[in-house]
Amino acid sequence: MALIVQKYGGSSVGTLDRIHHVADRVIKTKQQGHDVVIVVSAMYGETDRLIQLASAVSQDYDPREYDVLISTGEQISMALLSMALNAKSYPARSFTGSQIGIHTDNTHTKARIREVKTEIIQRELQQGRIVVIAGFQGINEHGDITTLGRGGSDTTAVAIAAALKAQECQIYTDVDGVYTTDPHLLPEARLLSQISFEEMLEMASLGAKVLQMRSVELASKHGMPIRVLSTFSDGLGTLVTFEDKIMDKRLVAGIAFSREEAIVSLSGLPRQTGVEGHILDKVSQANIEIDMIAQSAAAQDTLDFTFTVHRREHPKALKIVEELANELGALSVKTNSKVAKLSLVGIGMRSHAGVASTMFKALGKAGIPIQMITTSEIKISVVIDEAHLEQSVKVVHQAFELDKPRTISGKQIYIE
Amino acid sequence: MALIVQKYGGSSVGTLDRIHHVADRVIKTKQQGHDVVIVVSAMYGETDRLIQLASAVSQDYDPREYDVLISTGEQISMALLSMALNAKSYPARSFTGSQIGIHTDNTHTKARIREVKTEIIQRELQQGRIVVIAGFQGINEHGDITTLGRGGSDTTAVAIAAALKAQECQIYTDVDGVYTTDPHLLPEARLLSQISFEEMLEMASLGAKVLQMRSVELASKHGMPIRVLSTFSDGLGTLVTFEDKIMDKRLVAGIAFSREEAIVSLSGLPRQTGVEGHILDKVSQANIEIDMIAQSAAAQDTLDFTFTVHRREHPKALKIVEELANELGALSVKTNSKVAKLSLVGIGMRSHAGVASTMFKALGKAGIPIQMITTSEIKISVVIDEAHLEQSVKVVHQAFELDKPRTISGKQIYIE
């Protein structure tokens, strides 16, 4: 018998039928003899409905009141799920973030959890009840309702699991788990049975929208294993855990990518101390978020400076860079607003120098030009023409044999 | 400068336009230099939407969870109104019943208020803010969310006004105030500028659905004047206050009525000690609520026993009474399922014996047979054929000259 925290997202509780389905899943876990704590998101569409109401009242709405409004979405879900469980003769009680004592800082709409009280949860579990808690919300030191920002329910679940020292935090979504790459783009993408926290963070930040990044950070900090599973099918999903618990030390975990990128490059920029900082200042003063940055020496006295931004920021960014080119005496400005980023992620590449060359060779062989490269300890990112994205993912996936199961001596690995 | 509590019902905050309109009304009161505390209901339709969700999950839903669910309706309204006020540069903050400290007993879905804390309200008022509070909800000793039952927002407003010793509790609705009778039925019905608590209670209990009865009881207990006004038009509305503050001692305040009644009568029932209790026991064991009861001596050894029930209970009640007639040896059972109740209400009738005779004569002159009569200190009720209701209200209204303004020496009375 263990303590399991399960989180169900908006699409998992999107209709009353689905809420009953979730109740059945919860009951199954309870029947296995576990104590169960459930965290729920708002029903799919409810949060958008509330945001529309807020926007219609005032474009410049008060953040404190926004949180009061928006937090009702999870309160509705938790009550309905609790009713469904009680109707199936499994005693359950629902609690808001404020009732449980999920204490946050004062940053309305994007609050961070400071502390999770466990007294009420423990009391209810001791009485044999299933505890259903509203995700995404908490209370600040003034007793005001706060929300954690979009996707915050994952973070709530991990924070509660950590506070309770649960065995596992299970995040139920509408996908089977974490794949080597997006299966919509590449049908041979394969479900990972395990992935490390670090790899998951890189995958998450690169556009694999399975888990909210903050929740992975928090889980990593507290050593709380997360299991990503589907609400709508059976299967063990993907376990996100510490590197040393991963039994299969494959070089590469998967390929993340993002579209809608644009690249801007200053070529033949005279070398000058602090010139890079000056460029970035100008761009960020215009509230443009920069993603990748690369700098290479073109010649002894000049350098090339390249960065990427979201495609919608491209016109604004290009204008600034053209002004800078004049000011700084650059030879030329090169740009492409239809590029994509592809990133190879894997803890194994730390100690294996050959990963980059395997990747570049695979792209080269397919005739795909690389427009930019950046690397970090467990990630290599390249910028390519968006038209080449699908083919690029395919050839890199093949080059690392990601379609083949991670095996040790020929046997499929599951951790339990 | 005074402290005013204002309550806005579901139709007053039913759309975003209306919420802005309410905000403008609140601001007008604030501009007059008053401190303002607002109590809001759920947006029209929202509570029904939530109840439908609950019923769809389970016919036999858990009352604790029902309250968790249903209380979100007011939370949405209060946040939106507060946003609207802030957007118009009038600082406002919204609070749930639990945040303010509206303590209730443990009766979920029909809780009663025990205590209202005023610390937070006082603090916010001192800082110049408008305080917006969710009606209809509170918190029990376990920290669980409770609701007061339909119409409970009126009670919340009165309880808060009493706790704060406000000058007046203003209940904004979609009618101009309390009329001498329903203006939809009788166009010459006249708006009352004042009515006593006792008269209002009789009017409310008799189907004039302007104010929730419990709120009038509570106001009477605490001596808190209630003013009923329209959100959608200007005017002073109706002040509900103590009898000795009513400046115009008219005999009769108004005529209340209810349709959908049914009458059942046992005739020629042999006299027997406790027979009335026996009849009522049988009826209430079947969960049928009895409204009026009248008993008259038909002859020395027998009596007639008559009562009314809601029309939907009529078949059930009739069956029980027919069994009782056999058991008790009554001569006959008389019944009519298409009757209405008409009640004349007024504190003045206490000391004026002529009221009943004026009423009966008016009905008699119009050829309307009276099927049953009951009286209380400030009320006379008659049961008539429903087909005669409209005409009955008309002739009684005329007989007491209710269409003419309450005047003292020819001048219209307002209390301010």
Which of A60, A75, A83 is opposite residue B54, by nearest beta carbon?
A83
- Whether B27 and chain A come into contact, CB under 8 Å, resolves to no
- Cβ separation A53–B75 shorter than 8 A: no
Q: CB pairs below 8 Å between A and B: how many?
A: 112
**Contacts of residue A83 in chain B, CB cutoff 8 Å?**
54, 57-58, 61-62, 65-66, 69
- Cβ separation B93–A61 shorter than 8 A: no
B408 pLDDT higher than 60: no
Distances (CA, A) of A341 to A238, A256, A263, A383, B175: 24, 8, 10, 5, 62
- Cβ separation A53–B93 shorter than 8 A: no
**Residue at a domain's end among B156, B174, B192:** B174
| Any domain includes A250 | no
- Full DSSP string of A131-194: EEEESSEEE-TTS-EEE--TTHHHHHHHHHHHHHT-SEEEEEESSSS-BSS-TTT-TT--B-SE
The pLDDT of residue B42? 96
The yes/no answer to whether this complex scores an ipTM above 0.90 is no
- Cβ separation A53–B94 shorter than 8 A: no
- Whether B90 and chain A come into contact, CB under 8 Å, resolves to no
- DSSP H or E segment with residue B241: strand B238-241
Domain match, B24 and B168 both: yes
- Cβ separation A60–B87 shorter than 8 A: yes
Pairing between strand B35-40 and B130-134? Answer: parallel
- Whether A15 and chain B come into contact, CB under 8 Å, resolves to no
| Any domain includes B241 | no
Taking all residues of chain A, what is their mean pLDDT, rounded to a whole number?
A: 91
Which of A53, A62, A80 is opposite residue B69, by nearest beta carbon?
A80
Domain count of chain B? 2
Domain match, B276 and B370 both: yes
A256 pLDDT higher than 60: yes
B414 pLDDT higher than 60: no
| Any domain includes B248 | no
| Any domain includes A58 | yes
How far away is chain B from the Cα of A158, in angstroms, using its nearest Cα? 24
Nearest residue in B to A94, CA atom = B65
How far away is chain A from the Cα of B263, in angstroms, using its nearest Cα? 39
Report the CATH number that the domain containing residue A47 is assigned in CATH: 3.40.1160.10
Structural contact between residues B160 and B153, judged by C-beta atoms closer than 8 angstroms: no
Q: Within its chain, how far is the Cα of A310 from the centroid?
A: 18
- Whether B80 and chain A come into contact, CB under 8 Å, resolves to yes
| Any domain includes A238 | no
| Any domain includes A230 | no
User: Is B302 exposed, middle or buried (CB count within 10 Å of its CB: 0-12, 13-18, 19+)?
Assistant: middle
Domain match, A274 and A365 both: yes
- Whether A90 and chain B come into contact, CB under 8 Å, resolves to no
Domain match, A167 and A274 both: no
The pLDDT of residue A296? 81
- Cβ separation B69–A56 shorter than 8 A: no
Reduced to 3 states (helix: H, G, I; strand: E, B; else coil), residue A411 is strand
Per-residue pLDDT of B326-381, as tens digits, reads 999 999 999 999 999 999 999 888 777 788 889 999 999 999 999 999 888 889 99
Report the CATH number that the domain containing residue B352 is assigned in CATH: 3.30.2130.10
Nearest residue in B to A87, CA atom = B58
Residue B58: which domain range? Answer: 3-174
**Residue at a domain's end among B114, B148, B174:** B174
pTM, rounded to two decimals: 0.84
Which of B57, B60, B83 is opposite residue A54, by nearest beta carbon?
B83
**Contacts of residue A71 in chain B, CB cutoff 8 Å?**
75
| Any domain includes B243 | no
**Strands lying side by side in the sheet with B332-345:** B290-297, B302-310, B254-270, B332-345, B379-385, B372-376
The pLDDT of residue B41? 96
Distances (CA, A) of A274 to A278, A279, A328: 6, 9, 12
Structural contact between residues A17 and A43, judged by C-beta atoms closer than 8 angstroms: no
Per-residue pLDDT of A194-244, as tens digits, reads 999 999 988 876 655 778 888 999 999 999 999 999 999 989 999 999 987
The pLDDT of residue A413? 36
| Any domain includes A369 | yes
Domain match, A140 and A278 both: no
Pairing between strand B137-139 and B145-147? Answer: antiparallel
Domain match, B264 and B156 both: no
**Residue at a domain's end among B174, B191, B226:** B174
Which of A62, A84, A98 is opposite residue B57, by nearest beta carbon?
A84
Q: What is the mean pLDDT of residues B144-150?
A: 91
